[in-house]
Copies of this chain bind each other. A is one copy, B any other.
Amino acid sequence: MLQGGQFDNMKDTQAYIERIRRVSRDYQRLELAVDKSLSSMLAGQAVLARRIEKDYEIQHWNPYLRELWFPVEILNSNIIVVEVPAATSYQPGQLLSLLGPIGKPFKFRRKLRNVLLIVYDTPPTSLLMMLPALLANDASVTMVLMGTACQYDTGHLPEEIEILHAEEDLSWQDMVMTLGWADQVFVLVGPSKELSNFADVMRLVRERRNDVPANYIFGVFQRQLPCAVGACYVCMLRSNAGAKLQCVDGPAFDLTTLHLEN
């Protein structure tokens, strides 16, 4: 079973919204002026955010828990950028409390040439932070959008990313080739039906590729995290190596080791 884990960088700090930019029909990006400790966050790590009112008092207990935000960019040692639905209204100058960093950075293979991102019934936001680094290292990136992810407008993403839209049966053009050619695959699904969605994707992959090696395909979890410090066990997953916590050991897990039946 698990220990508390390593939280030696985790802090509860204040941030405020420095700037708001609309990036597409449905999404806006918030530039957050943050504590320096958050500027060393890496792709895969997240913060739990909550609006705070005067004197740190919480007046509205709805939503009760913080929102999980994976930054899409670290602008400098003071500013991190998050992407959130445009439907929620924010104002520059608004105060936030940010708990983080949460979780472990994505582990990329040494010699990474081709990365496949599969995004299923969720916006791809949580995967976006890896893009600049991958592109800077000459990796090529393909992003397959499945289900409601197809509605995500990718106009503001780097041009170098190849974007594919899957069919209703989840298959896409040149699927076998893409899967064979990828050195690493990251699968992102929405928190609704996540285990069965991961299982769907694994079935798809196994049908196309007999050998699914270890450290090849990773599921990225986006559950709401009540505590984020390994205390509440709400985010617990079962794996061949015993129980795992999204907030401590995640958000990415080798899908060949997870128990995906509910």
Report which A residues bind B (CB closer than 8 A). Answer: 59-62
Q: Which residues of B contact A61 (CB under 8 A)?
A: 62
In the complex, A59→B87 CA distance in Å? Answer: 14
In the complex, A60→B51 CA distance in Å? Answer: 14
Residue on B nearest A58 in the bound complex, by CB: B62
List 5 contacting pairs A-B, 8 Å CB cutoff, sorted by A.
A59-B62, A60-B60, A60-B62, A61-B62, A62-B62
In the complex, A62→B63 CA distance in Å? Answer: 12
Pairs A-B, 5 closest by C-beta atoms: A60-B60, A60-B62, A59-B62, A61-B62, A62-B62
Residue on B nearest A62 in the bound complex, by CB: B60
A146, chain B: closest CB distance, angstroms: 29
Q: Which residues of B contact A60 (CB under 8 A)?
A: 60, 62
Name A's interface SS. Answer: loop
- As for how many copies of this chain the complex holds, the number is 2
In the complex, A59→B60 CA distance in Å? Answer: 10
Q: Which residues of B contact A62 (CB under 8 A)?
A: 59-62
A61, chain B: closest CB distance, angstroms: 7
A202, chain B: closest CB distance, angstroms: 37
Residue on B nearest A59 in the bound complex, by CB: B62
In the complex, A61→B64 CA distance in Å? Answer: 12
Q: Which residues of B contact A59 (CB under 8 A)?
A: 62
In the complex, A61→B60 CA distance in Å? Answer: 8
Residue on B nearest A63 in the bound complex, by CB: B59
Residue on B nearest A91 in the bound complex, by CB: B91
A169, chain B: closest CB distance, angstroms: 35
In the complex, A90→B15 CA distance in Å? Answer: 22
Residue on B nearest A89 in the bound complex, by CB: B91
A58, chain B: closest CB distance, angstroms: 10
A62, chain B: closest CB distance, angstroms: 5
In the complex, A11→B60 CA distance in Å? Answer: 28
In the complex, A195→B62 CA distance in Å? Answer: 35
In the complex, A60→B60 CA distance in Å? Answer: 6
In the complex, A115→B51 CA distance in Å? Answer: 48
A106, chain B: closest CB distance, angstroms: 34
In the complex, A59→B64 CA distance in Å? Answer: 12
A179, chain B: closest CB distance, angstroms: 42
A93, chain B: closest CB distance, angstroms: 11
Residue on B nearest A54 in the bound complex, by CB: B87
In the complex, A180→B60 CA distance in Å? Answer: 50
In the complex, A178→B221 CA distance in Å? Answer: 74
In the complex, A62→B60 CA distance in Å? Answer: 6
